[in-house]
Structure 1
């Protein structure tokens, strides 16, 4: 496996994004993982972190990318601009979309995916790529991989899931207040978000979601955000998008970021990667 840190021209190249930055980065840091043999697909991958945290060294970025590369997939892990007082939506998604657009020049199937908030950004990037392809400025994505995604500011109620997560420590919970705070921080003021075209994936109409490629969703088990992943899967089906969803048993949110906690943790993380790889092969073979 060959690993290299590079920079890709970002959406703010050659212009002042202003404050808060809702445009994206001038140059987007990317860590690329080249498999030993010929790559059979290229994956642009976005780590999670509630839109506000995360690095290319997080296991959710580095460990996961290494496992995908071991399976023969070229991976570009994106160090997108994190939401903060000076960075707001849609800048993080625009960074992921810029890397996806750049990766589209490579041969072979093109895939985008991510974990948690990164899965949200990957979804928006896939839609941006579909728009570009429709305008003759690139090619569409062949598949979208979502690991325990968050896709809604207000997700549907699930009393059974609430009961399953009630005993978790606070740092593992995503109650309605925490979810609202996360999206408020990401989006910033409503007027600025609307003017910049910032959207929430789970709030898009079916006709917009219909532009997405086949989707694979792996949810954590005892995870409040599982409600969002399952709700989005239903929305995709209503939009006519092929979707496969599964739950990794006995896991909580963020388990892909903790493969070194023990043998079971590594097995759960590896099984999820294996599921993505297997479903991706199936999608590409059917396409």
Structure 2
């Protein structure tokens, strides 16, 4: 992916760790990596991107962060990839989403043109919350679009017999059974205040319709054989009921996390590229020339 210009900067965060206390605020300083289109081209939009990793893993070097950002930059977007603080025994919600919010606010003030927020898996969840926070705090620079890649958005997913059949043959590491999802959210939210942080729900799929109605036009890509697809599809329905414009796609033949393995096989490369092309095509319709 020649020609993409990459720089690393630190963005002022919402807070920082207090000795002896659980960090529910965020980082004092947030590492970000910016990707600019090559050849001096003017970006047609700025995308703030959050990798996935079940809220507890992930780096700016993961393909889901680096390869994705390079791919979007090749398509003419400026990408700001966020190294948000990860949930741990001493870091709980909403610290990770607060970090993403801080970077969205920074990007909105730093760059002109359309502003897009997006993420993959747990990062998509953080992207939803950060988009709403940005609208609350900076309505004059609210995001123009939201993009979600195989998102997880609900602590409890509805049953879907179609998906049960599709994922039955997957190795356990690729499965997202109900108990695994519950454990992921319990750890992220913290056992002391599960589901309620800073006075309101911290789970995107549990937000009321009136709150979801504040989201901008949204693009969702779900993996095919992925139990978390049930969450993505339910969220699409919730957005539609709230009056939000939604464009969606299921990437056929994929499993959860395929953007972290974009060069594993020829099929993986084609599927990953098709996903990026879909996002770019839909984004151009929504926000750009």
User: What's the TM-score, normalizing by structure 2?
Assistant: 0.94
What's 1:86 paired with? 90
Take 2:131 and 2:207, find their aligned partners in 1: how far apart are those partners?
14
Q: 1:29 aligns with which of 31, 43, 46?
A: 31
Take 2:45 and 2:232, find their aligned partners in 1: how far apart are those partners?
25
1:263 aligned onto 2:276 = no
Structure 1: tracts of 5 or more residues without a match: none
1:125 aligned onto 2:115 = no
Take 1:155 and 1:237, find their aligned partners in 2: how far apart are those partners?
18
Judging changes above 3 Å, is the alpha-carbon distance between structure 1 residues 168 and 4 closer, same or farther for their aligned structure 2 residues? same
Take 1:192 and 1:184, find their aligned partners in 2: how far apart are those partners?
7
Structure 2: tracts of 5 or more residues without a match: none
User: What's the TM-score, normalizing by structure 1?
Assistant: 0.95
Task: Give the C-alpha shift of residue 263 in structure 1.
Answer: 1.1
Equivalent pair of 1:248/1:272 in contact (CA under 8 Å): yes
Judging changes above 3 Å, is the alpha-carbon distance between structure 1 residues 17 and 218 closer, same or farther for their aligned structure 2 residues? farther
Task: Give the C-alpha shift of residue 194 in structure 1.
Answer: 2.8
The 4+ residue runs of structure 1 with deviation greater than 6 A are: none
Q: How many residues align?
A: 282
Take 1:284 and 1:38, find their aligned partners in 2: how far apart are those partners?
15
Task: Give the C-alpha shift of residue 260 in structure 1.
Answer: 1.8
What's 1:98 paired with? 102
Judging changes above 3 Å, is the alpha-carbon distance between structure 1 residues 268 and 192 closer, same or farther for their aligned structure 2 residues? closer
1:275 aligned onto 2:278 = yes
Cα RMSD for the two superposed structures: 1.5
What's 1:247 paired with? 250
Give 3-state SS (helix, strand or coil) of 2:196's partner: helix
Alignment deviations for residues 53-104 of structure 1 (CA, whole Å, 9 cap, x no partner): 0000000000000000000000000000000001000000000000000000
Q: 2:58 aligns with which of 50, 54, 61?
A: 54
Equivalent pair of 1:9/1:26 in contact (CA under 8 Å): yes
Judging changes above 3 Å, is the alpha-carbon distance between structure 1 residues 285 and 73 closer, same or farther for their aligned structure 2 residues? closer
Give 3-state SS (helix, strand or coil) of 1:220's partner: strand
Judging changes above 3 Å, is the alpha-carbon distance between structure 1 residues 189 and 74 closer, same or farther for their aligned structure 2 residues? same
